[in-house]
Amino acid sequence: MDKEICIITRADDGGSNHAANLGIERALEGGVLKNVSIMATCPAVREAAQMFAGRADVCFGLHFVLNAEWNDIKWGPMADPASVPSLIEADGWFSPHPDYFKEHPPLMREVMLELEAQFAKLTELGFRIAYVDTHMVPELAIPGLEDELRAWCTARGLVYWWDYLFENISISAADDVVTKHLEQIEALGAGRYLLVTHPAVDSEEMRALGNAYESGQQIARTRQYDSQFWSNPRLSVQYKQRGIRPIRYDEAVKLNPG
C-alpha cells in the first residue's frame, strides 16, 4: 500500500432525500465509488435501504448526525427526544451547526444513546455498517467525543473514520474534471488519500436546501456535479491504467492494520 496511490472514495448524505439517493445510485454505476455514508435521521433513509442496502460491492457507514444545517429542511434525533434533551433546541430539532455545543455542552451519555439509536435504525433497515463518520464533524466542538466514538467503534469491530483521514483531496469544476482530478493525484504521488463527495441530482427537492452560506441552487449544482464525476466511465478506465486504487474502509484496515 505504501507504494500505491490508494483513495478512500466516499459519498455522504445517503438517505437525506430522494435526490441524494438517486445521485448516489448513479454515482455507483461508475465502479470507483466504494463507500457510502447513510443518515439514519432523514426522511429518505428507508428508500436508501431499498436502493442500496443489499449491495455487496459497497462499504456502508453510519453518517452520525447531531446537526441539521439547512434553513427549511430539519431533522431531529432517532432516540426519544425526551431522553436526549441536551442534543436538541427548543423547537425539537438538531441545531444548525456543531458550534452550538460549545455554548451548550451536550451530555455524553445522551450523545452515545443517540449513536446507538441511529446505528440500530440502519441495522434494522438491512445496512451492513462497517464504519462510522460524522456529519459536520462535531468532534471539533464536543470535548471527548473523538475518544468515545473510537472506543464505541472498537468495541463493535467498526472503523472510526478519524483514524483513516489520510490526506484529504477534493474535486472542483473544470471543463474536463476527470483529467484535472488525475493530474492532481499524480502530482501528489504514491500515498493514501480520502475523497469525500455529496452526489445528488439537481431537482426542486435539492434546491429546497440552503442557508446563509450556500443557496439551494448552488447545492444542487455542486452535488449533481459530484454524481456526474463518479459516473463518468473514463474515471474507472483511467484509474486502472494509472494504477490508482479506490478502496473501502474495511480494505484500508486490512492493508494498514496499524
The helix (H) or strand (E) run that includes residue 191 is strand 191-197
Alpha-carbon distance of 162 to 152, in angstroms, equals: 13
Domain ranges in the chain? 5-64+129-140+151-255
- Tell me the pLDDT tens digit for each residue of 54-71: 999 999 999 999 999 999
Asked whether 150 and 163 are in contact (CB, 8 A), the reply is yes
- 5-64+129-140+151-255: which CATH topology? TIM Barrel (3.20.20)
Q: What are phi and psi of 133, to 5 degrees?
A: -125, 180
Alpha-carbon distance of 191 to 1, in angstroms, equals: 8
pLDDT of 257 > 70? The answer is no
Reading the block at residue 45, the C-alpha cell is 433513509
Q: What is the mean pLDDT of the chain?
A: 95
pLDDT of 211 > 50? The answer is yes
3-state DSSP call for residue 192? strand
Sign for the CA dihedral angle at 58, 13, 130, 160 comes to positive
Q: Could you tell me which of 125, 114, 108, 3 has the C-alpha nearest to residue 60?
A: 125
The residue type at 255: L
pTM: 0.96
Residues 6+ apart with CB under 8 A from 215: none
- Tell me the pLDDT tens digit for each residue of 135-180: 999 999 999 999 999 999 999 999 999 999 999 999 987 789 999 9
CA atoms within 13 A on the CB side of 67: 18
Reading the block at residue 221, the C-alpha cell is 449544482
